[in-house]
């Protein structure tokens, strides 16, 4: 162009600057700058690549693959309307409602294109529209609308409804326990121990006797009442089994209803004691971890020796509630009472909520409580064992007795540090039972 | 290539899946606008969708539907998203209540940002909110608690990120709990309190330095009297108080940042204090059913817009006071009376000097339900029209008359004509009679 031409053209060009955009199909178009810059992605590209970017056909800004020319045109229309500052909220809303009316296919494309251009208001607008389409429709209808392949087997479709008889909290517990066993196994392997296979030979009845069908309480005020339990019939069985091999799985049961009918028991028992977990979790359990079993056996014997007779409960005897206290800021709050079952071992799971102060466990009288939980550290979870804690309601902080030397630090750390374990299960148990 | 694609499309009888190819984040975003029950139902759509629902960071359980508490647990077990944006729980059956702590704990452990809890049952038993979970929380931003929740905080909570708090008919154990909750939210901006006064605590103290919006709705119709509010919020911008019946006091300490205040249906309390604390406001809206005391000497030096409900006793005195005390007033909206006759022996003393705002600033007057039959309203309207020198637009929406009542209609027209013929103080004033 001659100088004269340039002089004529330049002023016009100065008034409006354009950006060149290229879509993946190769087509290039020219768009007013303020409209194009309304899209964050384009804005970033221009800023990042410097002044030259998009200023001419040759160095056009290439748009992501999900933006085809039709969608680009739509999006630019949207930007053209909204980048004008003077519009009222109502105006914008009315425009959007009209704008979003289009067939489902285009709606999906639009959402996709807006997403790749990072244009959040339009992403939200199209997402809401798609959500409205999905909402309230049967799966068949949704498949029809979006042309989804019906490629799940009948069994797969029923999966979330599987195991209707189980108390899901138990399964959660199982999952956690399985995870823990896995870790233990690995640790033992590292230590070079041999893993023995042991078979659990307890009778079904014995195992079933630990199942507790109590209701748990709502904690309202500090004057919560002790509920009567239906455990009397289990008492004798449990004490009888004191010295036999026992499994350390704790069953936490809250609502009676979930275990109401006898029909529930078999599947539950099956689930707990064979430690089957949801296949989705990827945990395969075929029995009790032998190493842990050994540990538990030792503890059973230990406990039997140290048993404090005042604590022996037999049918009809006094039951003592366990109070889980959190000592935050010096005040002791009773959260709920714990119900612990299963023979001589009382296994409590301590859950991590982010309490900078320690959490303690308080049990009335002299009792031996084993507390296990997870504490998160930089490296990952560590399953600690706070056994041998003597809990005394009056003591603050709780004392611990006979903690093995190598555990002392850990116990102290746990009691004073933040428990980071994801809060998977918080027990609401009603009472402590000790045998 | 393009051509190949086209012919393929023509040949291919099967339609292409439109939506499953979208990036997962976008699909989750779409699903976050869908009610949880429908989200879960998408698990049977196709392979791609089977596990998608587990990652949607919003969970909403309303037990009105077919869900039982056991189902909630089941779903929580299966749910895999590491963070929860929002967790809504509405529990109406008595059994579900006892699991509250449990469920809240799970939500907290998933770093939930918005927690909405609505426990509503016939037996009115309260469920305690697990205060132990409140001693250290960095992620919760919005908390809504409604109905039958007992709040008992013996020590200060720590909700570092909490911006918005709604307390709707919850019960505080004592005044200390109120204090321990509110003082533990250093970033709280928005507080909504709905309660029956004196129901749980006598003096409800709201002392929050960061608070910008406060809404109090106190339905005193429950026959409870006494008690009151103390509001100490130096950053307060928006205040809304409704239905304060039967309480003894409502002390609002200095609110220099106040932009807008809405005081409705407030009566039987020492109202002088309320008005005095609102002097920084730019916009005010009042509805007082009884005569209130006027804080003499207070000047509403920034007030630009005023809305008054003039159904109360001696409303014209309040109007006079406000006109006198609001030198910069530009817009005045009045809500008139439906009652036909003004009280016997009413008397309005016109202001000795024309208020500054009428002379210099008032541009808009809107009078809804203008009581054309009433002498008092007529007199005040006439006064304003005569004296407002800057008035640009005055709109009167006269009180309703049925189309069959011809006599009344005639009378109304007469009155309105009279008003229209008043010599207006502003030459450019546009007078408008609207009928809704």
Final residue in a domain of this structure, among A125, A146, A167: A146
Q: Min CA distance, B70 vs chain A (Å)?
A: 7
Q: Is residue A105 part of a domain?
A: yes
Q: Are strands B331-335 and B364-370 parallel, antiparallel or unpaired?
A: parallel
Instruction: Using the structure block, give the residue that is written with the tokens 């029909």.
Output: A263
Residues A30 and A123 in one domain: yes
Q: Is residue A301 over pLDDT 50? A: no
Do residues A24 and A85 both lie within one domain? yes
CB-CB under 8 Å, B70 with A151: no
**Does A115 map to a domain?**
yes
Share of chain A above pLDDT 90, in %: 11
Q: Does B102 touch chain A (CB under 8 A)?
A: yes
Of A165, A192, A219, the one marking the end of a domain is: A192
Task: Please report the pLDDT score of residue A393 as a whole number.
Answer: 34
Residue B339, CA distances (Å) to A392, B243, B369, B407, B418 in order:
72, 22, 10, 18, 20
Cα–Cα distance, A17 to A34 (Å, whole number): 8
Query: Could you give the CA distance from residue B251 to residue B228 in angstroms, rounded to a whole number?
Result: 8
Instruction: Name which residue leads in pLDDT, A381 or B98.
Output: B98
CA of B183 to nearest chain A CA: how many angstroms apart? 15
Q: Taking CB atoms and an 8 Å limit, are B77 and A221 in contact across chains? A: no
Interchain CB contact of B349 with A (< 8 Å): no
Q: Is B344 on the interface with A (CB under 8 A)?
A: no
Residue A22 sits in the same domain as residue A135:
yes
The Cα–Cα gap between B302 and B283 comes to 8
Annotate B351-364 with DSSP letters as a single string: -SS--HHHHHT--E
Q: What is the pLDDT of residues B95-127, one digit of tens each?
A: 666 677 777 877 887 889 999 998 877 677 788
Beta strand pairing call for A380-385 and A368-377: antiparallel
Mean pLDDT of A327-351: 28
Pairwise CB contact (< 8 Å): B35 & A135: yes
What is the distance in angstroms between the Cα of B276 and the nearest Cα belonging to chain A? 34
Residue with the bigger pLDDT between A207 and B310: it is: B310
Distance CA B392, CA B182 (A): 46
Nearest by CB to A142, from B45, B110, B155: name it. B45
Asked whether residue B175 carries a pLDDT value surpassing 80, the answer given is yes
Taking only the tens place, the pLDDT of each residue in B340-357 is 666 666 777 778 888 898
Neighbouring residues of A61: CB distance < 8 A, sequence distance ≥ 6: A19, A20, A21, A22, A42, A45, A46, A49, A53, A54
- Domain assignment of residue A177, given as a range: 152-192
Residues, chain A: 435
How far is it, in rounded angstroms, from Cα A259 to Cα B93?
Answer: 18
Same domain? A24 vs A139: yes
Q: Is residue A398 part of a domain?
A: no
- The tens digit of pLDDT for each residue in A75-114 reads 999 999 998 888 888 999 999 999 999 999 999 999 999 9
- Is A28 a member of any domain? yes
Per-residue burial over A264-296, b = 16 or more CB atoms within 10 Å of its CB, e = otherwise: bbeebbebbbebbbbebeebebeebbbbbbeeb
Indicate if A141 and A159 belong to the same structural domain. no
**A140 and A171 in a common domain:** no
Check CB contact of B106 with chain A, cutoff 8 Å: yes
Q: Which of B34, B33, B83 is nearest to B55 (CA)?
A: B83
Answer yes or no: is pLDDT of A402 > 70.
no
Nearest to B87 by CA among B109, B63, B66, B117: B117
Question: Is B160 in the A-facing interface, judged by CB distances under 8 Å?
Answer: no
> Do A61 and A39 lie in a common domain?
yes
Query: Which of B17, B34, B97 minimises the CB distance to A131?
Result: B34
| More confident position, A150 or A287 | A150
Domain membership of residue A139 (yes or no) is: yes
DSSP letter (8 states) at residue B164 = E
Q: If we measure between CA atoms, which residue out of B245, B293, B244, B246 comes closest to residue B272?
A: B293
Interchain proximity A217–B98, CB inside 8 Å: yes
Chain B interface, mutation test: which of A218, A276, A338, A381, most B Cβ atoms within 10 Å?
A218
- State the Cα–Cα distance between residues A165 and A170, nearest whole angstrom: 11
> Cβ of A139 and B45 within 8 Å?
yes
Tell me which of A167-171, B305-309, B413-417 is least confident.
Answer: A167-171
- Indicate if A99 and A34 belong to the same structural domain: yes
Instruction: Indicate if A59 and A99 belong to the same structural domain.
Output: yes
Residue A135 has pLDDT above 70, yes or no: yes
Q: How many CB atoms lie within 10 A of CB B7?
A: 10
Average pLDDT over residues A163-170: 48
What pLDDT score does A276 carry?
A: 31
Q: Are B236 and B262 spatial neighbours (Cβ–Cβ below 8 Å)?
A: no
* Neighboring chain B residues of A323 at a CB cutoff of 8 Å: none
Same domain, yes or no: A100 and A161: no
Q: Which residues of B touch A146 (CB under 8 A)?
A: 17-20
Question: Strands, DSSP E only, in B92-227?
Answer: 114-119, 127-128, 142-146, 149-151, 164-168, 171-172, 190-195, 203-207, 213-218
* Contact at CB, B38 and A137, closer than 8 angstroms: yes
Q: For residues B268 and B291, what is the distance between their CA atoms, to the nearest angstrom?
A: 9
**Rounded distance between C-alpha atoms, residue B335 and residue B287, angstroms:** 9
CATH value at residue A72: 3.30.710.10
A187 and A94 belong to one structural domain: no
Mutate which of B12, B19, B128 to test chain A, going by most A C-beta atoms within 10 A? B19
Does residue A52 form part of some domain? yes
Between CA A343 and CA B13 the distance in angstroms is: 65
| A159, part of any domain | yes
Lowest mean pLDDT among A35-44, A50-59, A309-318: A309-318
Q: Which of A338, A350, A329 is nearest to A396 (CA)?
A: A329
What dihedral angle (degrees, nearest 10) is formed by the CA atoms of B16, B18, B21, B24? Answer: -160
At residue A175, φ and ψ (nearest 5 deg) are -65, -45
Q: How confident is the model at residue A184 (pLDDT cuts 50, 70, 90)?
A: low
Distance CA B413, CA B112 (A): 62
- Tell me what pLDDT residue B64 has: 59
Quick check: is A277 in a domain?
A: no
Helices marked H in B183-313: 272-277
What is the spatial distance between Cα A136 and Cα A134, in angstroms, rounded to a whole number?
Answer: 6
pLDDT tens per residue across span B251-301: 888 788 999 999 887 766 665 677 888 899 999 998 877 777 778 888 999
Q: Are B220 and B243 in contact (CB under 8 A)?
A: yes
> Looking at the predicted structure, is the pLDDT value of residue B167 above 90?
yes
Q: Do A178 and A162 fall within a single domain? A: yes
How many domains does one find in chain A?
2
**What is the ipTM metric for this complex?**
0.71
Q: Which residues contact A269 (CB under 8 A, 6 or more apart)?
A: A204, A207, A208, A211
């Amino acid at each position: 162009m001659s100088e004269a031409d340039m002089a004529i053209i330049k002023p016009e060009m100065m008034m409006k600057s354009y950006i060149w955009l290229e879509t993946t199909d190769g087509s290039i178009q020219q768009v007013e700058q303020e409209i194009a810059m309304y899209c964050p992605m384009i804005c970033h590209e221009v800023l990042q690549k410097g002044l030259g970017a998009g200023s001419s056909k040759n160095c056009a800004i290439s748009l992501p693959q999900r933006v085809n020319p039709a969608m680009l045109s739509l999006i630019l229309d949207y930007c053209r309307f909204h980048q004008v500052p003077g519009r009222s909220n109502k105006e914008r809303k009315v425009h959007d409602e009209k704008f979003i009316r289009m067939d489902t296919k285009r709606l999906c494309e639009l959402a996709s294109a807006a997403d790749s251009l990072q244009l959040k208001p339009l992403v939200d607008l199209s997402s809401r529209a798609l959500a409205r389409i999905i909402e309230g429709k049967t799966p068949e209808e949704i498949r029809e609308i979006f042309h989804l392949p019906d490629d799940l087997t009948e069994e797969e479709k029923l999966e979330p409804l599987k195991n209707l008889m189980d108390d899901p909290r138990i399964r959660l517990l199982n999952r956690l326990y399985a995870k823990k066993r896995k870790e233990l196994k690995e640790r033992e392997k590292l230590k070079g121990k041999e893993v023995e296979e042991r078979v659990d030979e307890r009778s079904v009845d014995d195992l079933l006797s630990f199942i507790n069908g109590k209701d748990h309480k709502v904690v309202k005020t500090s004057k919560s009442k002790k509920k009567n339990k239906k455990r009397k019939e289990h008492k004798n069985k449990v004490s009888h089994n004191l010295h036999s091999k026992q499994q350390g799985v704790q069953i936490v049961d809250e609502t009676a209803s979930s275990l109401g009918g006898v029909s529930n028991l078999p599947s539950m028992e099956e689930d707990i004691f064979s430690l089957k977990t949801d296949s989705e979790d990827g945990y395969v359990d075929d029995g009790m971890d032998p190493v842990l079993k050994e540990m538990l056996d030792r503890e059973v014997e230990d406990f039997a020796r140290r048993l404090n007779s005042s604590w022996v409960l037999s049918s009809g005897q006094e039951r003592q509630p366990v109070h889980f206290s959190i000592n935050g800021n010096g005040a002791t709050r009773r959260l709920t009472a714990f119900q612990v079952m299963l023979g001589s071992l009382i296994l409590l799971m301590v859950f991590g909520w982010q309490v900078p102060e320690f959490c303690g466990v308080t049990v009335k009288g002299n009792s031996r409580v084993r507390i296990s939980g997870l504490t998160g550290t930089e490296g990952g979870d560590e399953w600690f064992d706070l056994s041998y804690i003597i809990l005394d309601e009056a003591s603050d902080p709780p004392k611990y007795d006979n903690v093995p030397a190598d555990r002392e630090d850990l116990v102290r750390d746990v009691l004073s540090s933040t428990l980071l374990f994801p809060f998977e299960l918080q027990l609401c148990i009603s009472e402590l039972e000790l045998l | 290539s393009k051509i190949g694609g086209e012919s393929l499309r023509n040949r291919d009888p099967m339609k292409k899946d439109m939506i499953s190819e979208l990036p997962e984040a976008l699909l989750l975003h779409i699903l976050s606008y869908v009610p949880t029950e429908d989200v879960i139902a998408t698990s049977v759509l196709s392979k791609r969708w089977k596990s998608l629902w587990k990652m949607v960071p919003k969970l909403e359980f309303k037990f009105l539907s077919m869900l039982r508490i056991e189902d909630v647990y089941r779903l929580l077990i299966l749910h895999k998203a590491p963070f929860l944006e929002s967790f809504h729980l509405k529990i109406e059956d008595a059994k579900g209540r006892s699991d509250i702590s449990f469920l809240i704990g799970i939500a907290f452990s998933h770093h939930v940002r918005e927690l909405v809890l609505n426990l509503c049952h016939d037996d009115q038993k309260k469920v305690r909110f697990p205060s132990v979970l409140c001693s250290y929380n960095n992620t919760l931003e919005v908390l809504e608690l409604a109905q039958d929740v007992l709040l008992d905080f013996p020590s200060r909570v720590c909700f570092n990120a909490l911006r918005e708090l709604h307390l709707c008919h919850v019960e505080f154990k004592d005044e200390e709990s109120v204090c321990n909750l509110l003082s533990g939210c250093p970033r709280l901006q928005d507080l909504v309190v709905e309660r029956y006064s004196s129901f749980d605590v006598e003096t409800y103290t709201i002392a929050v330095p960061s608070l910008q919006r406060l809404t109090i709705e106190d339905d005193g119709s429950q026959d409870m009297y006494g008690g009151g509010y103390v509001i100490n919020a130096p950053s307060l911008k928006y205040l809304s108080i409704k239905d304060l019946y039967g309480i003894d006091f409502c002390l609002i300490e200095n609110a220099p940042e106040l932009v807008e205040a809405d005081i409705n249906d407030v009566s039987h309390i020492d109202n002088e204090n309320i008005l005095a604390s609102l002097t920084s406001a730019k916009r005010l809206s009042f509805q007082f059913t009884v005569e209130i005391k006027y804080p003499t000497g207070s000047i509403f030096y920034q007030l630009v817009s005023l809305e008054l409900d003039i159904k109360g006793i001696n409303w014209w005195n309040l109007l006079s006071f406000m006109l006198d005390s609001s030198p910069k007033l530009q817009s005045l909206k009045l809500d008139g009376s439906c009652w036909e006759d003004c009280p016997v022996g009413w008397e309005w003393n016109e202001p000795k000097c024309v208020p500054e705002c009428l002379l210099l600033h008032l541009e808009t007057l809107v009078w809804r339900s203008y009581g054309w039959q009433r002498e008092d309203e007529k007199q005040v309207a006439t006064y304003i029209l005569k004296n407002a020198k800057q008035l640009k637009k005055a709109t009167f929406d006269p009180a309703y008359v049925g189309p069959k009542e011809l006599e009344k209609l005639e009378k109304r027209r007469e009155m309105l004509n009279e008003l229209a013929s008043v010599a207006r103080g502003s030459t450019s004033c546009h007078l408008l009679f609207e009928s809704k």
